[in-house]
């Protein structure tokens, strides 16, 4: 039996206490610690991705100050240089989280209202004044994803745009040739068009290119030394891994897709980074270092987005086999599959990469790195050794993968 006294202050400053008796069955119990990452399982996923056609695969875990890393295969099929977790790479749709952060910072600065029509800031851009900024950031605008048309054939579609430079308005115009996929505010329907519009909003409201805003608001404050928006340049600066596109025809050689403008994506997917920088970025985001608590709450207003997934404002939530939810984004751009997720408190973060794209088998295998990282060895008993292949990704989301 333990006796406790609860004090309260009366008028005039006197203290009085009430005796509370409580029966304890033992010492106070701390919350159970998260299981340690399963590095054997993680390495197994990377090796499987390599067997399935990725020249290389790697992952970095930042966990309460401890760093764990693994890499297999090569960064360059010609030189045979080993892939390293220090390499830079194209992050594809993880770019969307950066774009959403900038817009939510602008909301903090009262330069933007999430529930205002996009056309209020970009007059006559969209055919429906009911489409709001929130709808765009949560993929509920109904704007068709033009990348479905571009990449219905992955290699020929890519070669047709590899060196092209588009304006934002040209990309939006490609979307508007099609009927909308849902009414404004309807169900989640992933579309790169939404984050092209996000880039336009950033540039209109700040008067600066998106590259300058990413740099000022995120890259510089967090000291992300390997992160940049390189559009419309085609080269990745510094030490980087080359990226390879799986061809449409089975058995055909991989296509080196490293050099490209990524102009078809821009603010929806044209950034480069490293595993360390992505872990730093997502940890800072979830720990509230990039926006107010109110806006971070807005970012986490979830809508259903597929099995065990939800989408907020530029942010995915995936619920794993052990019940843990993780927050971040997947990324697909020709030659690269990237995965960047963290825990609710931002204390354990994973960034993973396979330097190949257009492979449903590799994409599904790389998602197992989340299970090994956040569920530990317990994931072995829950995850099927032959999971159902995820046949769609963030690039041309309505075109099935192999």
Check whether 399 has a pLDDT greater than 90: no
Model confidence at 8, in pLDDT bands (50, 70, 90)?
very low
pLDDT at 24: 35
Largest CA distance in the chain: 86
Q: At what angle do helices 168-176 and 192-206 cross, to 10 degrees?
A: 140
Least confident of 7-11, 53-57, 108-112: 7-11
Taking residues 74-92, report their average pLDDT: 98
Task: Kindly list the domain boundaries of the chain, sorted by start residue.
Answer: 39-375
Check whether 15 has a pLDDT greater than 60: no
Q: 367 vs 41, 238, 287, 372, CA distance in Å?
A: 12, 27, 24, 9
pLDDT (tens digit, 9 = 90+) per residue, 112-126? Answer: 999 999 999 999 999
Q: Is 329 within 8 Å of 97 (Cβ atoms)?
A: yes
Q: Which of 275, 351, 314, 327 is nearest to 97 (CA)?
A: 314
Q: Which residue has the tokens 């817009």?
A: 103
Residue 366: what are its φ and ψ, rounded to 5°?
Answer: -65, -25
Q: Which of 77, 88, 136, 106 is nearest to 275 (CA)?
A: 88
User: pTM for the complete prediction?
Assistant: 0.90
Model confidence at 30, in pLDDT bands (50, 70, 90)?
very low
pLDDT at 34: 79
Q: Identify which has the larger pLDDT, 293 or 382.
A: 293
Q: At what angle do helices 192-206 and 95-108 cross, to 10 degrees?
A: 40
pLDDT (tens digit, 9 = 90+) per residue, 103-159? Answer: 999 999 999 999 999 999 999 999 999 999 999 999 999 999 999 999 988 999 999
Sheet holding 244-245, edge to edge: 255-256, 244-245, 356-357
Catalytic residue (choose from 22, 84, 93, 147) = 93
- The proportion of the chain whose per-residue pLDDT surpasses 70, expressed as a percent, equals 86
Taking residues 20-37, report their average pLDDT: 52
Superfamily of domain 39-375: DD-peptidase/beta-lactamase superfamily (3.40.710.10)
- The proportion of the chain whose per-residue pLDDT surpasses 90, expressed as a percent, equals 83
Chain-wide mean pLDDT for the chain? 90
Using DSSP, how many helices (H) and how many strands (E) does the chain show? 13, 16
Sequence-separated (6 or more) residues with CB below 8 Å from residue 147: 192, 264, 265, 395, 396, 397
pLDDT (tens digit, 9 = 90+) per residue, 242-278? Answer: 999 999 888 899 999 999 999 999 999 999 999 999 9
Helix (H) / strand (E) element for 359: namely none
Start-to-end Cα distance in the chain: 65
395: region left, alpha or beta (phi > 0 left; psi from -120 to 50 alpha)? beta
Model confidence at 73, in pLDDT bands (50, 70, 90)?
very high
SS3 (DSSP) at 20: strand
pLDDT (tens digit, 9 = 90+) per residue, 304-345? Answer: 998 899 999 999 999 999 999 999 999 999 999 999 999 999
> CA torsion angle for 357, 358, 361, 365 (degrees, to 10)?
30
Model confidence at 6, in pLDDT bands (50, 70, 90)?
very low
Q: Is 93 a catalytic residue?
A: yes
């Amino acid at each position: 039996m333990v006796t406790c006294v609860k004090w309260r202050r009366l008028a005039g400053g006197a203290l009085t206490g009430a005796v509370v008796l409580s029966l304890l069955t033992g010492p106070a119990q701390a919350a159970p610690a998260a299981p340690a990452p399963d590095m054997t399982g993680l390495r197994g996923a990377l090796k499987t991705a390599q067997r399935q056609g990725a020249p290389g695969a790697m992952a970095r875990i930042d966990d309460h100050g401890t760093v764990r890393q693994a890499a297999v295969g090569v960064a360059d099929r010609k030189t045979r240089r080993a892939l390293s977790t220090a390499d830079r790479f194209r992050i594809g749709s993880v770019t969307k989280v950066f774009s959403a952060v900038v817009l939510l910072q602008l909301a903090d600065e009262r330069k933007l209202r999430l529930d205002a029509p996009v056309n209020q800031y970009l007059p006559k851009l969209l055919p429906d004044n009911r489409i709001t900024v929130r709808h765009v950031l949560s993929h509920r605008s109904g704007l068709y994803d033009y990348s479905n048309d571009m990449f219905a054939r992955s290699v020929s579609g890519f070669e047709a745009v590899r060196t092209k430079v588009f304006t934002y308005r040209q990309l939006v115009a490609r979307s508007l040739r099609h009927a909308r996929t849902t009414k404004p505010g309807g169900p989640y329907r992933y579309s790169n068009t939404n984050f092209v519009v996000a880039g336009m909003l950033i540039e209109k409201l700040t008067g600066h290119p998106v590259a300058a805003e990413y740099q000022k608001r995120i890259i510089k404050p967090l000291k992300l030394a390997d992160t940049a928006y390189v559009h419309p340049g085609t080269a990745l600066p510094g030490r980087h891994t080359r990226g390879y596109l799986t061809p449409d025809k089975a058995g055909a050689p991989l296509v080196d897709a490293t050099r490209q403008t990524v102009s078809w994506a821009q603010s929806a997917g044209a950034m480069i980074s490293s595993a360390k920088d992505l872990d730093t970025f997502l940890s800072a985001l979830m720990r509230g270092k990039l926006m107010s608590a109110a806006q971070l709450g807005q970012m986490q207003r979830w809508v259903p987005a597929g099995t065990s997934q939800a989408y907020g404002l530029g942010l995915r939530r995936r619920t794993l086999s052990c019940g843990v939810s993780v927050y971040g984004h997947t990324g697909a751009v020709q030659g690269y599959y990237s995965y960047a997720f963290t825990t609710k408190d931002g204390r354990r973060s994973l960034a993973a990469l396979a330097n190949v794209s257009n492979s449903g088998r590799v994409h599904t295998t790389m998602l197992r790195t989340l299970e090994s990282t956040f569920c530990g060895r317990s994931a072995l008993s829950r995850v099927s050794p032959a999971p159902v292949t995820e046949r769609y990704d963030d690039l041309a989301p309505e075109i099935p993968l192999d």
